[in-house]
Structure 1
Amino acid sequence: MPKLRVARPTDQLAAVLCFYRDGLGLTELASFTAHNGFDGVMLGAPQAPYHLEFTHQPGHHVGRAPTADHLLVFYLPERSEWEAAVQRMQAAGFAPLPAYNPYWDQLGLTFEDPDGYHVVLQHSAWAL
């Protein structure tokens, strides 16, 4: 089965780690320091076929998300799982905000990470 890594640079590695690990509840799978000039962390769920990688290159500025419509969507169909995810985000100090695309407000809540990227906690199953 293919595996997916979503990799993104950041100027705020520690704050991004707090958002995705402490708020979103992802597990820190690996990290590195000064690897070919980069620091980084990989987050996900153990044994899942995906993970997120955030990197920082000291002395290099990457800035914020280019638009408010750059987002990740996590589908959480079980009400208790969705409510726990929302509560964890809020307990970590992250408040929901209106989605750029109002579709996501119908069954979900949107949170902004320290770099301006949006994460939607969608209370529905992913059906294609």
Structure 2
Amino acid sequence: MQDPLMSQGYDVWTPTLRIARPTDDIEALLPFYVGGLGFQILTRFDDHEGFSGIVLGHPGQAYHLEFTHQRGHKAGRAPTKDNLLVIYLPQRLAYQAAIGAMVDAGFKPVPSYNPYWDQHGKTFEDPDGYRVVLANKGWDR
């Protein structure tokens, strides 16, 4: 018997992962995530019960980043330098292009809190103090 959701075009077996976090300035994050990392703006919302936000990703991919701002609330900076998103780029040319795009967008690598990441990639810090590692390795587990 076919799953009724599958017959309507829904893939019930592939979840979508959305990582959401607050920020004090959504617009300040766009040069980093859109200009540097190449994410696209998938949707925005303004003043939804006091929250405004933006969802970034790549069309058709099962992962998103969501940044929200609650009116009248201070989110502050990342609590530690080890708050990371890691993007694995095993192909050397793709890795080099990603590093180049970040540098071209005006972002310089920072020393990683965990030295492991300096051995396998470059770490960049967004305007809120959260970090993204571009790792020149595959995920093999």
Fold match (TM-score > 0.5): yes
Task: Name the residue aligned to 1:46.
Answer: 59
3-state SS of the aligned residue for 2:35?
helix
Deviation at 1:58, TM superposition (A): 2.2
* Aligned-CA RMSD value: 0.8
Question: 1:82 aligns to what?
Answer: 95
Residue 69 of structure 1 aligns to a residue in which SS?
coil
State the number of aligned residues: 128
Separation (CA, whole Å) in 1 of partners of 2:72 and 2:108: 30
Gapped runs of 5+ residues in structure 2? 1-13
1:92 aligns with 2:110: no
TM-score by length of 1: 0.97
Identity of aligned pairs, percent? 59
Which stretches in structure 1 are left out of the alignment for 5+ residues? none
Aligned structure 1 segments of 4 or more residues deviating by more than 2 angstroms: none
Secondary structure class of the residue paired with 1:120: strand
Which one has a bigger Cα radius of gyration? Answer: 2
Show the counterpart of 2:68.
55
Bigger RCO (CA 8 Å, 6+ sep): 1
* Deviations, residues 69-126 of structure 1 (Å, cap 9, x unaligned): 0000000111111111111111111100110000001120000011101100000111
